[in-house]
């Protein structure tokens, strides 16, 4: 399905549903959308999740009939895998993850982007440099998916067309990058969206791409401009491609005829005279835009494998 997500072209959801595990999930757009789709009778969204962490239509479900969709795409495209789920959720069987990877291996004309808040499981399943794909290969054999196992066995690891990433919304979750760094991947990326605070502990060694963005939606929290600038500056120093996706519902303000929300450098509401406070004005996602310091930032990574081959 085509998408308005700024950093990709298409979405593909061979699984749906998830569970909230950190503050970045508080205003999950997918959870809200799943409830709406359930009410509309969409077959993929009839499994309900635990109301404490999920919701109507957002229980984890696999959709084997969706696995073949990319096989019918002839024109190369960039594909965000599981915009409505997390492929590495504990309730997605390993053999099914193997089937997803086999489809990606069989369609090298496309570039696939997989984003997870569970990078530790991603590392266990995908493997490190010395054992990339082995766990998935074994799971395919054990599950009786011999053609899948054959595809994975014959594939080049890391799969050159698969980018693997993790979401990091606050500094307490910066360690997610440690598991990502170890994972066998042609491109490793971080989504710092919704960015809920500064990320001083986040190291960019081994990270090829960083996406930053503010939060959109009814319960959106403002992003301090200095958090975004710091990440941009550090990406430039580290040689990591930087993509600024959006300000979200709020943009830096003080120049529009409505009250500003002042936030401190650590993300708390504050007064205008607080040191280094930022005035953020709620104008809506479209009006807020995605311009940072006079320009847009639309950098994309180059595969490390392509650079070294």
Q: What is the pLDDT of residues 51-72, one digit of tens each?
A: 999 999 999 999 999 999 999 9
For residue 132, give Cα distances in angstroms to 126, 185, 186, 298: 6, 9, 11, 30
Residue 149 has pLDDT above 60, yes or no: yes
User: Which pLDDT belongs to residue 4?
Assistant: 86
For residue 29, give Cα distances in angstroms to 92, 132, 244, 286: 21, 32, 19, 16
User: Which pLDDT belongs to residue 309?
Assistant: 38
What is the rounded average pLDDT of the residues 193-200?
Answer: 97
Q: Give the integer Cα–Cα distance in Å for 240 and 199.
A: 15
State the pLDDT confidence band at 256, using cuts at 50, 70 and 90: low
For residue 1, give Cα distances in angstroms to 35, 38, 73, 92: 19, 18, 11, 22
Residue 254 has pLDDT above 80, yes or no: no
What is the rounded average pLDDT of the residues 197-216?
Answer: 97
Domain-wise residue ranges, the chain: 10-249+290-308
Predicted TM-score (pTM) of this structure? 0.95
CB distance 78 to 111 below 8 Å: yes
Mean pLDDT of the chain: 95
Six-digit token string for 281: 């004005």
Q: Give the integer Cα–Cα distance in Å for 160 and 104.
A: 10
Give the least confident one: 36-40, 167-171, 217-221, 275-279.
217-221
State the pLDDT confidence band at 217, using cuts at 50, 70 and 90: confident
The two beta strands, 61-62 and 15-16, are: antiparallel
């Amino acid at each position: 399905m085509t998408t308005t997500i700024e950093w990709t072209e298409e979405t593909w959801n061979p699984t749906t549903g998830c569970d909230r595990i950190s503050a970045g999930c508080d205003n999950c757009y997918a959870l809200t959308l799943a409830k709406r789709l359930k009410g509309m009778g969409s077959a993929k969204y009839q499994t309900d999740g635990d109301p404490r962490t999920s919701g109507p239509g957002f229980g984890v479900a696999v959709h084997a009939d969706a696995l073949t969709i990319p096989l019918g795409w002839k024109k190369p495209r960039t594909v965000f895998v599981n915009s409505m789920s997390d492929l590495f959720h504990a309730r997605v069987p390993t053999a099914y993850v193997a089937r997803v990877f086999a489809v990606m291996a069989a369609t090298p004309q496309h570039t696939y982007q997989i984003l997870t808040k569970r990078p530790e499981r991603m590392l266990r399943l995908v493997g490190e440099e010395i054992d990339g794909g082995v766990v998935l290969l074994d799971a395919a054999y054990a599950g009786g998916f011999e053609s899948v196992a054959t595809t994975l066995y014959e594939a080049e690891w890391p799969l050159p067309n698969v980018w693997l990433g993790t979401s990091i919304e606050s500094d307490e979750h910066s360690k997610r990058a440690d598991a990502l760094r170890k994972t066998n991947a042609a491109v490793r990326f971080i989504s710092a969206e919704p960015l809920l605070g500064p990320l001083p502990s986040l190291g960019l060694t081994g990270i090829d791409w960083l996406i930053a963005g503010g939060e959109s939606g009814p319960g959106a929290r403002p992003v301090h401009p200095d958090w975004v600038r710091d990440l941009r500056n550090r990406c430039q120093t580290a040689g990591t491609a930087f993509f600024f996706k959006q300000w979200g519902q709020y943009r830096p303000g003080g120049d529009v005829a409505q009250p500003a929300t002042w936030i401190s450098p650590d993300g708390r509401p504050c007064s205008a005279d607080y040191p280094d406070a930022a005035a953020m004005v709620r104008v809506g996602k479209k009006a807020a835009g995605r311009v940072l310091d006079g320009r847009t930032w639309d950098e994309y990574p180059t595969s490390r494998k392509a650079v070294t081959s």
